[in-house]
Chain A
């Protein structure tokens, strides 16, 4: 897949990004999807994939949103959105739910991010604004606890600045915890061991050349161009 470009030559929509993330999730995996963009991945898991979704507020076997008449206020996901229960589901308390993550039992965790560094550092809990009301939730546990932590985000901020960076400038969530970043313009591997020269490595590009990606990010990137 290295260095390929989509035939359409366009950047991905959010749903296309979610489908791209879903395509890499192994059949039968136990997966946690973070709040926001990563939640979309659940809609793109192929039927029969046997993937079990974990929600850190205490459930395995989470199903999609219910019909309005079937909303149960006691059946919600980590984003406090109503969900449903699939056959084989189970419930457990918070310490068990986080032990599941922290003990390395969750195969894949998909998180959103403000910034990811080429070393795999993650910043996704605080914008660093001085008057911001802080909140961290389960982000720090998920980042370091899952066997594989990947990020799904736009490549650039609304202002056009890179979100994949040499060094995170925002408060960190975890060090060297992210292994792959799925964005609207490219899929890149990051973190220790992905490149002998310590660069992020381009896995796939969408509507941009390797050189354009390097220019957008201001980084030298690995992966054949």
Chain B
């Protein structure tokens, strides 16, 4: 049963120290900015964050990293033109990084949500990112064994929710939201608008409400921060 929360903090709920938190978004698109702000205000520390990027400029994820609240980050592309807080923490040895190819990141999250114990993939075979991992040749192709990534909480941004927690997304802001929503014990979605059950076309629902614990309507538009790889 999905809760419709009145504020980002209320939607976020309790996050224990040391929790693993997934944060949706690819660059600025799909970032649940207000929910990460709420996590910052909440005070939980020693976090493991799973996110494609490691914070831009002084955004909330960058401030979580700056303030030493993130013990470890699992991410595909931490380096950005404006990732200075991550860069400083990484160079000072204050944050542990697990660098994961983007497709492995998505598939490992999907695997967690689908109850898959592990999977073999050719991605990364023979590269430094597969060092120490089990390998096997399947159908003549060398493959690497990859394990699921689960979380205690997933914070995602969607375009619209209904009161049953069904979510629809908008354009390339969809990115990690749908897979992260399946892989966490609790998924919290911020949306622009919560509509009554029945107001979303069931054929168009991308994330069914079974995956969503709380939704909150926030009118935060995304801003384009630094443009860069």
Task: Tell me the A residues contacting B by CB distance below 8 Å.
Answer: 35-36, 55-59, 71-77, 79-82, 85, 91-95, 97-99, 101-102, 126, 131-141, 144-145, 171-175
- Judge if B46 is at the interface, Cβ distance under 8 Å: no
18 cross-chain CB contacts under 8 A: A55-B172, A56-B102, A74-B29, A76-B224, A82-B224, A91-B169, A94-B102, A102-B107, A133-B79, A133-B91, A135-B76, A136-B100, A136-B129, A137-B77, A137-B102, A140-B124, A145-B122, A172-B128
The answer to whether B152 has its CB under 8 Å from any CB of chain A is: no
| A81 proximity list for chain B (CB < 8 A) | 227
B177 at the interface (CB under 8 A from A): yes
Given known A-B contacts A137-B229, A144-B122, A75 and B172 have beta carbons under 8 A apart = yes
**Choice from A79, A93, A102 contacting B177 with Cβ under 8 Å:** A93
Min Cβ gap A173→B in Å is 6
Q: How many angstroms from the CA of A175 to the CA of B222 in the assembled complex? A: 38
Q: With A and B bound together, what is the CA distance between A140 and B125 in angstroms?
A: 9
Count of chain A to chain B residue pairs whose CB atoms are closer than 8 Å in the complex: 161
Q: Which 8 A-B pairs have CB atoms at the shortest separation, nearest pair first?
A: A141-B103, A98-B103, A94-B106, A135-B79, A80-B27, A74-B173, A140-B101, A95-B110
- Decide: A138 near B172, CB < 8 A? Known: A73-B223, A95-B110, A144-B123: no
B83 on interface, CB distance cutoff 8 Å: yes
Residue of B with least CB distance to A59:
B172
- B172's partner among A36, A57, A137 (CB-CB below 8 A) is A57
Residue B211, interface by CB 8 Å: no
Q: Per-position contact with A for B88-119: 1 when CB-CB < 8 Å, else 0?
A: 00110000010111111111011000000000
Number of interface residues of B (CB under 8 A): 56
Chain B residues lying within 8 Å of A136, measured Cβ to Cβ, are 76-77, 99-102, 129
Q: Specify the chain B residue showing the minimal Cβ separation from A172.
A: B127
Chain B 27-41 against A: per-residue CB contact (8 Å), 1 yes, 0 no? Answer: 111100000000000
CB distance A141 to B102 under 8 Å?
yes
Residues of B within 8 A of A36 (CB): 229
Kindly state the separation between the CA atoms of A138 and B176 in the bound complex, as whole angstroms: 14
* Complex-state Cα separation, A59 to B228, whole angstroms: 19
Rounded to whole Å, the gap between the CB of A105 and the closest CB of chain B is: 13
Q: Chain B nearest CB: distance from A161 CB in Å?
A: 22
Are B101 and A139 touching (Cβ within 8 A)?
yes
Known contacts A98-B107, A138-B101; A93/B171 CB under 8 A: no
Tell me the smallest distance from the CB of A203 to a CB of chain B, in Å: 26
B109 touches A95 (CB 8 A): yes
A126 to B100, CA, bound (A): 13
Q: How far is the CA of A18 from the CA of B90 in the complex (A)?
A: 37
Chain B, residue nearest A34 (CB)? B229
The reply to whether B126 and A135 form a contact with Cβ atoms under 8 Å apart is no
Contacts of B211-229 to chain A: CB distance below 8 A: 221-224, 227-229
**In the assembled complex, how far is the CB of residue A75 from the closest CB belonging to chain B, in whole angstroms?**
5
- B178: chain A residues at CB < 8 Å are 93, 95
Q: Shortest CB–CB separation between residue B139 and chain A, in angstroms?
A: 12
Most buried by A among B77, B122, B172, B206: B172
Say yes or no: is B150 at the interface (Cβ < 8 Å to chain A). Answer: no
Q: How far is the CB of A196 from chain B (nearest CB, A)?
A: 21
Distance between Cα atoms of A59 and B30 in the complex (Å): 14
Shortest distance in angstroms between B225's beta carbon and chain A's nearest beta carbon? Answer: 9
- A98-B102 CB under 8 A given contacts A134-B79, A140-B124, A172-B127: yes
Inside 8 A of B221's CB, which chain A residues have their CB? 73
Cβ contact within 8 Å between A75 and B176 = no
Q: A80-B27, A101-B103 are in contact. List 15 more A-B contacts (CB 8 A).
A: A56-B102, A56-B103, A73-B223, A74-B170, A79-B228, A80-B28, A91-B171, A95-B178, A98-B102, A98-B103, A126-B128, A137-B102, A139-B101, A140-B104, A175-B125
